[in-house]
Chain A
Amino acid sequence: MRIPLRLSLLVLLALGGCSKAGSESAAPSTVTLLNVSYDPTRELYADVNAAFAKHWETAHGQKVSIKQSHGGSGKQARAVIDGLDADVVTLALAYDVDMLHDKASLIPEGWQTRLANNSAPYTSTIVFVVRKGNPKGIKDWDDLVREGVAVITPNPKTSGGARWNYLAAWGHALRKPGGTEESARAFVAALFRNVPVLDSGARGATTTFAERGLGDVLIAWENEAFLLTDEVGKERFEIIVPSTSILAEPPVAVVDRNVDKRGTRAVAEAYLQFLYSEEGQRLAAKHHYRPRSEEVASKQGARFPKVTLFTIDEVFGGWRKAQAAHFDDGGVFDRIYVPQAR
């Protein structure tokens, strides 16, 4: 009888450990929030969470512990729809947040008007990263379609960042003097002919460019580009800011169904409001996002060069339309992108 007894004890012990870990309920004096975010915000929210925790504790005498989950924006939205208990989502594009309403009614339809600036407390734009010295002489969008220039950008079917890249290129071609839908389409098709590999996410593309050394130019979020030049590959890369680009507005939202069930609405809303506060805006700028606050922005000097920015609403009539026309199955991207045999 020795073995089964020991065995059953083990199983019991293990199950005990499980239920304890599974039903981890916080002490009443501590509240936990889960922020489900996309890839490049890791460093930003590590700072924001610490600052907000301090802010909330001084104001309300309650400890708050904020858990983070990061991944591709579309994938993260999917996880929340499937039941990941996010109190707030901070994703790459409004379309992914729209899905929380469309697929699971987790938030009301007009979620984007609940906070200032289209619910995007910070913005970014799409820029280029080239290797030090800019050996291929890349200055603007038109240089990306030249022969012999290898462009790295992730797959717009799976990556939010890649959709911004694609739409920025499209918008540039369309807004050029004499630009039409036809010429924009030809331009983007030519650009994607220069793409040797499509990674599934923005971080993957950055790693491909920086660590694997593929490509002459990386199309990337401005914040991701700064991360490369300032922190990862000092002296190895340069940022090139094109003449025009798109205003990327990564939105934030409280997930109503989840906060109401968990009783965390007040702290979740305060958390998002904190992003608009002076401290939140400073942290956004520190992590290379363009702050909304004029005051904080004016202190950034020449870090964020002036670019002619167009919005997705102006050029494409909003995310839903852009998504349907360009990225859904059978959309423009499917028709112009032919994987390269190299």
Chain B
Amino acid sequence: MFAPTIHLPRRRTRTLEGSPWVRWTLITLALGFLAVFLFVPLLAVFSFAFQKGWEAYLAAITEPEARSAIVLTLTAAAIAVPLNLVFGLAAAWLLARFRFRGRALLLTLIDLPFSVSPVIAGLIFVLLFGRQGWLGPFLSEHDVHVIFAVPGIVLATVFITLPFVVREVLPVMQAQGSDEEEAALTLGASGWRTFLRVTLPKVKWGVLYGVILCNARAMGEFGAVSVVSGHVRGVTTTLPLHAEILYNEYDFAGAFAVASLLTLLALVTLVLKKYVELRSEAS
């Protein structure tokens, strides 16, 4: 996911091309695979969503519980993405520019949210903030609600999406090297000014790319959020959780209407991602 895109030269050689028969088999296989695993599900989501018509679709995504799910999903993303943007930039800069004891450990820890199952991520917060968790007695004494409330959902989202920005920005920063920054510093620019005027512009496409991925995951996360949500309808259900609830109520059209919102988000993300890729190649 994070390997830099490798562009093969366009020139084709006879040996690579092989016989037309092999080529067509491969193309058919690839298209068939895409059709089964991508196009059919995509079509299915929208056809189920609209099976009861436009009005039912609009009703499903504008009823109060759906609206509250949309607001909660946007809230969680609006907190998680900026936080991880700031953290990601700082951490990437630290890791790219400095060699220090524990650097490898820090790199590994940053990847932790990717390597650990989202359900376990959620349970970590239950064990920390739950009534019987480490901080549970303190929190309940002060009447602070973390899990089964909005802060818990935000925390889980921040945790799950933590690596995206760092992981996108770090390779770009490393590839840039520090020559220009050193030049700026020698010419008398302050550290802050150097960061803003020299470092940041160089990595901006990496940052954007990371933000897009981070946002997509923040809005789509199910496992970790499900564990800390408590599933209180209209209060602690995000869009993916709301879709599941509707599905379990045999409201398939409603579930897929909500799912189509998430699918649209994914499609927008893809377009943005492609645009950022093209722009970063151009610049």
- Rounded to whole angstroms, the CA-CA distance of A3 and B140 in the bound complex is 39
Instruction: Count chain A residues whose beta carbon lies closer than 8 angstroms to a beta carbon of B.
Output: 38
Task: Name the B residues within 8 Å of A22 (CB-CB).
Answer: 145, 149-151
Residue of B nearest to A203 (CB): B248
Cross-chain contact B147 with A83 (CB below 8 angstroms):
yes
Tell whether A104 pairs with B148 under 8 Å between CB atoms, given A3-B196, A7-B86, A67-B233: no
Task: Name the B residues within 8 Å of A67 (CB-CB).
Answer: 232-235
Task: Name the B residues within 8 Å of A79 (CB-CB).
Answer: 148, 230
Is residue A336 contacting chain B, with contact meaning CB distance below 8 A? no
Which of the residues A1, A34, A82 comes within 8 Å of B131, measured between beta carbons?
Answer: A82
A:109-151 near B, CB below 8 Å: none
Cross-chain contact B132 with A11 (CB below 8 angstroms):
no
B:200-252 near A, CB below 8 Å: 200, 230-235, 245, 248-250
Is residue A85 contacting chain B, with contact meaning CB distance below 8 A? yes
Residue of B nearest to A32 (CB): B235
Scoring B residues 37 to 79 as 1 if CB is less than 8 Å from chain A, else 0, what string do you get? 0000000000000000000000000000000000110010011
A:4-26 near B, CB below 8 Å: 4, 7, 10-11, 13-15, 17-18, 21-22, 24
- Rounded to whole angstroms, the CA-CA distance of A11 and B149 in the bound complex is 20
Cross-chain contact A39 with B248 (CB below 8 angstroms):
yes
B:244-275 near A, CB below 8 Å: 245, 248-250
- Rounded to whole angstroms, the CA-CA distance of A155 and B81 in the bound complex is 39
Chain B interface size range: 35 or more
- Rounded to whole angstroms, the CA-CA distance of A69 and B149 in the bound complex is 12
Cross-chain contact B150 with A21 (CB below 8 angstroms):
yes
- Rounded to whole angstroms, the CA-CA distance of A43 and B249 in the bound complex is 8
- Rounded to whole angstroms, the CA-CA distance of A155 and B231 in the bound complex is 22
A:92-122 near B, CB below 8 Å: 103-104
Is residue B130 contacting chain A, with contact meaning CB distance below 8 A? yes
B:147-174 near A, CB below 8 Å: 147-151, 154
- Rounded to whole angstroms, the CA-CA distance of A263 and B79 in the bound complex is 32
Task: Name the B residues within 8 Å of A13 (CB-CB).
Answer: 78
Task: Name the B residues within 8 Å of A24 (CB-CB).
Answer: 235
Tell whether A14 pairs with B131 under 8 Å between CB atoms, given A7-B82, A71-B231: no
- Rounded to whole angstroms, the CA-CA distance of A14 and B83 in the bound complex is 10
Residue of B nearest to A76 (CB): B231
Is residue A50 contacting chain B, with contact meaning CB distance below 8 A? no
- Rounded to whole angstroms, the CA-CA distance of A3 and B129 in the bound complex is 34
Residue of B nearest to A17 (CB): B75
Which of the residues A14, A68, A261 comes within 8 Å of B78, measured between beta carbons?
Answer: A14
Residue of A nearest to B86 (CB): A7
Task: Name the A residues within 8 Å of B154 (CB-CB).
Answer: 18
Cross-chain contact B75 with A82 (CB below 8 angstroms):
no
Residue of A nearest to B126 (CB): A82
Cross-chain contact B196 with A104 (CB below 8 angstroms):
no
Which of the residues A7, A18, A82 comes within 8 Å of B151, measured between beta carbons?
Answer: A18
Task: Name the A residues within 8 Å of B232 (CB-CB).
Answer: 34, 67-69, 84
Is residue A234 contacting chain B, with contact meaning CB distance below 8 A? no
B residues bordering A, Cβ < 8 Å? 71-72, 75, 78-79, 82-83, 85-86, 126, 129-133, 136, 140, 143, 145, 147-151, 154, 196, 200, 230-235, 245, 248-250
A residues bordering B, Cβ < 8 Å? 1, 3-4, 7, 10-11, 13-15, 17-18, 21-22, 24, 34, 36, 39, 42-43, 67-71, 79, 81-85, 103-104, 203, 207, 227, 231-232, 261
A-B pairs with the 3 shortest C-beta distances? A83-B131, A82-B130, A14-B79
